[in-house]
Amino acid sequence: MVVHGEREVLPAATRAEAAKALQQFTTAYNDADKAYDSSLDADHVTGALGDIDAARLKAGQAGSPEGNANHLPLKLSDVTYTIVEKAGWPRWFVADAAANKGGSARWLFVFTRGGLDEAWEVAYLTLVAPDDVPEFKKDADGYAEGVPVNSAGLAAEPADLSQEYAKYLKDGGESAFAENSHTSGWRTERQKIAKKPGLVTQFIDEPLTDGDYAPLAVRTKDGGALVFFTTRHYEKQTAYAGTSVPTPLDDVLALTTGEIKQSLTMEFVSNEVALDPKGAGKVTILGRIQGLTSAKGE
């Protein structure tokens, strides 16, 4: 019998394959962090994490060409694998682990691959409080259910969350999102720094939804969905005439092109994980990791 992977609903991986993928990622991630060399884990990261990780390592290399003197190997434990059954590609699974960094937070990794001949890569990495990790709906074999991104019956369609989040950060007001540090709290922080003596800071927020940045959603036990999605953010500091932009940190300067005269525009990529409830209600952003990816002085 021939099984057509593009049509049959199949598990993304076996548990042994998932464990091997996590082990290979962790080894590569640690090697790259120790050497500040993004080529050492480039085959194991993609999407939002790929952008954030590459920029972090580039900045580290600029400041410390001999490597990371403060390197502490990432060690994961108490790992749970949520392996999604679905038809077609990409296939993906979630690894939920405790770590020796980030306090008590659980590290949620989303591994994806676009075909049998491709390697597993981590597209999303977020840190979530242990009590916030939901239970997933699983079948008799222990496999989870992928939620189509245009799925109705949820508080918001997963495909819309990136756009809705960017719009909310810009305009505020009523939104699909519950208030917390990642929503109303973040807008309040921005308002505090928008205008300072001699300096104005502007913010631009954009959805990021194509290719390896596409949202991914898995069904929770209560019928909702846990959704991973990506956004891009710009922060432009402009100095008044006769003043100058504050000198950025070395990590920012390492990623900056152009000469900083009157303005500095910083670009960030952010990956979020949100709980999207069944039916009516508010989407709760449980975790967000953001990283500077580039900057431009003018």
Share above pLDDT 90 across residues of the chain, in percent, rounded to a whole number: 95
Strand partners, 196: 199
Across 133-142, average pLDDT: 97
Rounded Cα–Cα distance for residues 209 and 213 (Å)? 5
Tokens of 267: 């670009």
Only one residue has tokens 């008044």, namely 240
Band of pLDDT at residue 5, cut at 50, 70 and 90: very low
Is 0.85 surpassed by the pTM of this model? yes
Angle between helices 184-193 and 161-171 (to 10 degrees): 40
Across 72-97, average pLDDT: 96
Other residues' Cβ atoms within 10 Å of the Cβ of residue 1? 2
Residue 7 has pLDDT above 90, yes or no: no
Band of pLDDT at residue 80, cut at 50, 70 and 90: very high
pLDDT of res. 129: 98
Tokens of 181: 């540090």
Q: Of 277, 269, 1, 237, nearest to 124 (Cα)?
A: 269
pLDDT digits 0-9 by tens, 211-236: 999 999 999 999 999 999 999 999 99
Angle between helices 15-35 and 47-63 (to 10 degrees): 20
Band of pLDDT at residue 150, cut at 50, 70 and 90: very high
- Estimate to the nearest angstrom the gap between the alpha carbon of 288 and the chain centroid: 7
Residue 199 has pLDDT above 90, yes or no: yes
pLDDT of res. 193: 95
For the chain, count helices (H), then strands (E). 5, 13
Cα–Cα distances (Å) from 274 to 37, 146, 171, 177, 277, in that order, read 31, 15, 20, 9, 9
Across 150-172, average pLDDT: 97
Band of pLDDT at residue 21, cut at 50, 70 and 90: very high
Preceding amide of 130 cis, omega within 30: no
Residue 6 has pLDDT above 90, yes or no: no
Band of pLDDT at residue 4, cut at 50, 70 and 90: very low
Across 186-206, average pLDDT: 97
Cα–Cα distances (Å) from 1 to 4, 8, 85, in that order, read 10, 13, 20
Q: Of 72, 161, 77, 81, nearest to 120 (Cα)?
A: 81
Sign of the CA dihedral running 25, 284, 159, 204: negative
Band of pLDDT at residue 207, cut at 50, 70 and 90: very high
Q: What is the average pLDDT score of the chain?
A: 96
Only one residue has tokens 């409080």, namely 129
Across 161-183, average pLDDT: 97
SS3 277: coil
Residue 1 has pLDDT above 70, yes or no: no
Across 80-100, average pLDDT: 96
Across 135-147, average pLDDT: 97
Residue 3 has pLDDT above 50, yes or no: no
Across 58-79, average pLDDT: 97
pLDDT of res. 87: 87
Tokens of 89: 């590609």
